């Protein structure tokens, strides 16, 4: 590849660089100091010769950082003048063979060298060493490999670790490099007491329980990050910074927790648009410490032309194991095809949310009444357990991973004839990378059923409907169900949906952007007889944006059964 430096103003010389490696010429043109002297039009021949000698030495140093220790550099200086330059300088680079790693030696000093419990940590550093034998050498990769190894050591037990010795021993005659690095871990560090600042409205006991850092436990950087995330996610704090106290003890190091608390009360008003129901008004009131109870309460009202909803959530402070008491109530009025439904749900139990696992158990009361073609009041009580497991790489913008959830409930309908029932609902999401530029495959599945001799006495909230943003796109929310003789759609006992989506990054000038394209196909079915399910299909295209408030999804889907296009908008990643 050849690169020529041009300018509109007259130059002392024109510089042309070519190389047998396509990326070297533009890279050399960018870093070579010789280009800075092109504007000095009064350079004489002696000065020009000195500049070229200096440039030759610098070019060889630059090539050495890329692993080329035996390059052939051919310089040519033409003194013929032109309108734009007095001289012409040509540099042709034959980079020669690239040096390769022939040996890697990692040595240890400090506590990590003899501690048996740190053996796995030492093995991990060796296993994930970024420049193994046989790989091409470059200075940038060498520096990055050292930094990565040091961060691995500092992330657990040894935050004070440092590199005491490192050497890249180059044999230019054989184009081989022997690497050696010695990491001094320093002493093992354990978690000391919490030093909390900024706790005024809410107690320090709440901070300690949410942080969930045990004094005396071995230091792990991940534990501090999770403590910080739990404190932020609690809603009690606008900003949180958790770090080791650099002036603390050598072994049991105190942990600094710096807080900026939220207001005790907060009102949020919102006006938005839903793709299926048009304008939507929301109002939310949060009381972070209810008088006389000390629990957190959130009341929310949402109104649009299809759904009017009121909800109340009560959440107690966590105990030492991060379990909380939880109470909730929800009242809805919703329009369906051919009928309206008034429903209510009351719930009380305990919940625990951790980094990768959520658990809940609760008692629940449901009731619903329908107008139009489906009449009658239906009620039920049930005992339930919910479990969620997730292994995603980066929330809320995951690129790979797996998640699953399961809800199990058992109860009875209420009324003159009580009928016991069991209900289950399972969900799964799999994100599989396809390569740096090819994006990923997202596979989603959901299935559930209600097991009972007779479901006619169950509230509609215990049965299933499908359709909408996170179900089967191309169809309105809750529009996939059991068709009635009058054309109404009723909920059913069995439900299954699935989706396959290809998400591909959108690049601009060969650089990644915050946007992705998507191509997808969804399918789903709801029925009262698992042997007579009739699946409907939707497919389409969409866009994804890494917005400041979370992933924004815009999809245009075609519902094959209804033969219509439907726009879907949604924000956030929840699993």
Share of the chain above pLDDT 90, in %: 61
Per-residue pLDDT reduced to its tens digit, 99-152: 999 999 999 999 999 999 999 999 999 999 998 999 999 888 999 999 999 999
Whole-number pLDDT of residue 452: 93
Cα–Cα dist 209/196, whole Å = 13
Per-residue pLDDT reduced to its tens digit, 31-48: 898 888 887 877 787 888
* Nearest partner of 370 among 471, 301, 463, judged by Cα: 463
Cα–Cα dist 501/388, whole Å = 22
The secondary structure of residue 185, as a DSSP letter, is -
Q: For every residue of 53-77, which 3-state class applies, written as one string? A: HHHHHHHHHHHHHCCCCCCEEEEEE
Strands (E), 452-563: 482-483, 489-490, 494-508, 511-527, 536-547, 550-559
Cα–Cα dist 120/98, whole Å = 34
- Which whole-number Å values give the CA distances from 541 to 473, 501, 535, 553, 557, in the listed order? 10, 9, 20, 11, 7
Mean pLDDT computed over 173-186: 94
**What are the phi and psi torsion angles at 113 (to 5°)?**
-70, -30
- Tell me the two tokens of residue 162: 């440092």
* Nearest partner of 19 among 79, 77, 59, judged by Cα: 59
- 148's enclosing H/E stretch is helix 139-154
Mean pLDDT, the chain, whole residue set: 89
**Rg value, the chain, Cα:** 33
Cα–Cα dist 543/517, whole Å = 5
* Nearest partner of 102 among 171, 166, 163, 182, judged by Cα: 171
85-94 vs 11-19, strand pairing mode? parallel
Lowest mean pLDDT among 114-118, 205-209, 255-259, 318-322: 318-322
Q: Is 572 left (phi over 0), alpha (psi -120 to 50) or beta?
A: left
Cα–Cα dist 49/37, whole Å = 13
* Nearest partner of 159 among 231, 249, 292, judged by Cα: 249
Confidence band for 11, pLDDT divided at 50, 70 and 90: confident
Contact of 282 with 270, CB cutoff 8 Å: yes
Per-residue pLDDT reduced to its tens digit, 341-391: 899 999 999 999 988 899 999 999 999 998 764 556 899 999 999 999 999
Contact of 550 with 486, CB cutoff 8 Å: no
The secondary structure of residue 189, as a DSSP letter, is -
**What are the phi and psi torsion angles at 339 (to 5°)?**
-165, 165
């Amino acid at each position: 590849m050849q690169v020529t430096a041009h300018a509109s103003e007259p130059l002392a010389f024109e510089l042309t660089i070519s190389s047998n490696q396509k990326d070297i010429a533009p890279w050399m043109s960018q870093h070579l100091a010789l280009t800075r002297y092109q504007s000095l039009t009064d350079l004489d021949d002696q000065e020009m010769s000195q500049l070229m000698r200096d440039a030759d030495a610098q070019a060889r140093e630059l090539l050495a950082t890329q692993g080329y220790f035996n390059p052939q550099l051919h310089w040519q200086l033409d003194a013929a003048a032109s309108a734009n330059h007095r001289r012409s300088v040509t540099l042709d680079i034959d980079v020669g063979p690239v040096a390769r790693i022939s040996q890697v030696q990692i040595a240890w000093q400090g506590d990590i060298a003899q501690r048996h419990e740190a053996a796995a940590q030492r093995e991990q550093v060796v296993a994930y060493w970024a420049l193994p034998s046989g790989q091409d050498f470059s200075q940038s990769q060498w520096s990055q490999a050292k930094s990565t190894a040091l961060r691995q050591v500092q992330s657990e037990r040894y935050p004070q670790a440092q590199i005491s010795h490192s050497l890249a021993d180059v044999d230019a005659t054989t184009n081989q490099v022997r690497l050696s690095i010695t990491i001094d871990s320093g002493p093992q560090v354990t978690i000391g007491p919490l030093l909390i600042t900024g706790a005024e409205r809410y107690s320090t006991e709440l901070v300690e329980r949410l942080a969930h850092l045990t004094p005396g436990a071995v230091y792990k950087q991940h534990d501090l990050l999770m403590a910080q995330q739990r404190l932020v996610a609690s809603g009690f704090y606008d900003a949180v910074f958790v770090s080791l106290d650099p002036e603390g003890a050598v072994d049991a190091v105190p942990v600094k927790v710096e807080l900026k608390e939220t207001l005790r009360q907060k009102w949020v008003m919102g006006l938005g648009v839903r793709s299926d129901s048009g304008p939507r008004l929301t109002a939310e009131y949060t009381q972070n410490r209810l008088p006389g109870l000390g629990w957190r309460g959130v009341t929310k009202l949402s109104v649009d032309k299809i759904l009017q909803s009121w909800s109340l959530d009560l959440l107690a402070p966590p105990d030492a194991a991060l379990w909380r008491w939880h109470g909730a109530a929800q009242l809805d009025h919703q329009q369906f095809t051919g009928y309206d439904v008034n429903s209510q749900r009351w719930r009380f139990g305990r919940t625990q949310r951790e980094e990768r696992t959520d658990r809940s158990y609760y008692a629940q009361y449901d009731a619903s009444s329908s107008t139009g073609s489906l009449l009658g009041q239906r009620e039920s009580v049930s005992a339930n357990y919910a479990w969620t497991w997730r292994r995603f790489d980066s929330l809320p913008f995951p690129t790979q991973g797996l998640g699953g959830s399961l809800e199990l409930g058992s109860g009875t309908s209420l009324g003159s004839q009580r009928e016991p029932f069991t209900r289950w609902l399972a969900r799964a999401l799999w994100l599989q990378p396809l390569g740096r530029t090819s994006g990923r495959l997202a596979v989603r599945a959901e299935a559930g059923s209600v097991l009972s001799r007779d479901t006619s006495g169950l509230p509609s909230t215990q049965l299933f409907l499908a359709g909408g943003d996170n179900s089967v796109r191309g169809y309105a929310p809750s529009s996939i169900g059991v068709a009635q003789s009058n054309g109404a759609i009723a909920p059913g006992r069995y439900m299954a949906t699935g989706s396959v989506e290809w998400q591909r990054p959108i690049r601009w000038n060969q650089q990644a952007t915050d946007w992705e394209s998507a191509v997808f196909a969804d399918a789903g079915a709801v029925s009262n007889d698992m042997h007579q399910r009739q699946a409907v299909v939707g497919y389409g295209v969409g866009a994804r944006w890494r917005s400041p408030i979370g992933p924004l999804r815009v999809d245009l889907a075609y519902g094959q059964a209804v033969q219509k296009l439907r726009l879907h908008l949604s924000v956030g990643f929840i699993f």
